[in-house]
Amino acid sequence: MPAKRHPDMANQYPQLPCLVPNYQQGTFNVAQAMKMDLQFPSNIQIPVGSISFITVAAITICLPLYDRLLVPALEKITNQEGGFTFLQRIGIGNMFAVLNLLVSGFVERKRRESAISYGTPDGVAPMSVIWLAPQLILLGFVEMFGIVGLIEFYNKQFPNHMRSIGTSLLYLSLSLSSYSSSFVVNVVHKDCHF
């Protein structure tokens, strides 16, 4: 008789759509920032590599607010521990990933149009790097819901003696996402002759 599987364990890779944008945005945001005005407000120059701090700040600010304010209210409404199921949290992370890519595409289109109309030889747009803040905040929400939801899923749904396997599945997902992101970047560079 085959072992009975937990119903949620059959869906152990719903996080790949959530994680691929994380890796894609990790390189793309830096590339975008290199072609934008790094002066903020007018006398401080933001280092390009520091732009991802906005994501960390969004997680640092929003995760405690979510955990202390929103979760108790959701628990009263849904009568469920944590307010959402683990897969619902991962799904919310996936929705933020899609929204993040839409916002990122909009910002890149505006940045590109601005760079073309401004006409500098190096392609730098006269747009402030702060335009990247919404997509970086959304990326923080992707991590806050998707990845934290995955960690909770693995720690609470797996038996005690299998939790290390659950954590290794998370890191396997992260590595698959990284390879997928690298594949996409290589295909784009090859096809666009960069």
Question: What is the full per-residue pLDDT of the chain (194 aa) written as tens digits?
Answer: 444 444 444 454 555 555 666 667 777 788 888 888 888 777 888 888 888 888 899 999 999 998 899 889 988 888 888 888 888 888 898 899 889 889 988 998 998 888 888 877 777 888 888 899 999 999 899 888 888 888 888 888 888 888 888 788 888 877 888 788 778 777 877 777 55
Task: Please report the pLDDT score of residue 7 as a whole number.
Answer: 44
Cα 49 to Cα 149: distance, rounded to the nearest angstrom: 27
In angstroms, the CA 71 to CA 16 distance is 25
So what's the pLDDT on residue 45?
Answer: 85
pLDDT confidence of residue 9: 45
Res 14: pLDDT: 52
Phi, psi torsion values for 80, nearest 5 degrees: -135, 140
For residues 37 and 126, the answer to whether their CB atoms sit within 8 Å is: yes
pTM recorded for the entire structure: 0.80
Q: Give the model's pLDDT for residue 8.
A: 47
In whole angstroms, give the CA distance from residue 99 to residue 145.
Answer: 13
What pLDDT does 17 receive?
A: 58
**DSSP string for the chain:** -PPPPPGGGGG--TTHHHHHHHHHHHHHHHHHHHTSB-BSSSS-BPPGGGGGHHHHHHHHHHHHHIIIIIHHHHHHHH-STTSS-HHHHHHHHHHHHHHHHHHHHHHHHHHHHHHHHHT-TT---SSBGGGGHHHHHHHHHHIIIIIHHHHHHHHHHS-GGGHHHHHHHHHHHHHHHHHHHHHHHHHHHHHHT-
User: Among positive and negative, which fits the CA dihedral 27, 105, 126, 142?
Assistant: negative
CA 57 to chain centre: 13
**Distance (Å, rounded) from C-alpha 138 to C-alpha 185?**
21
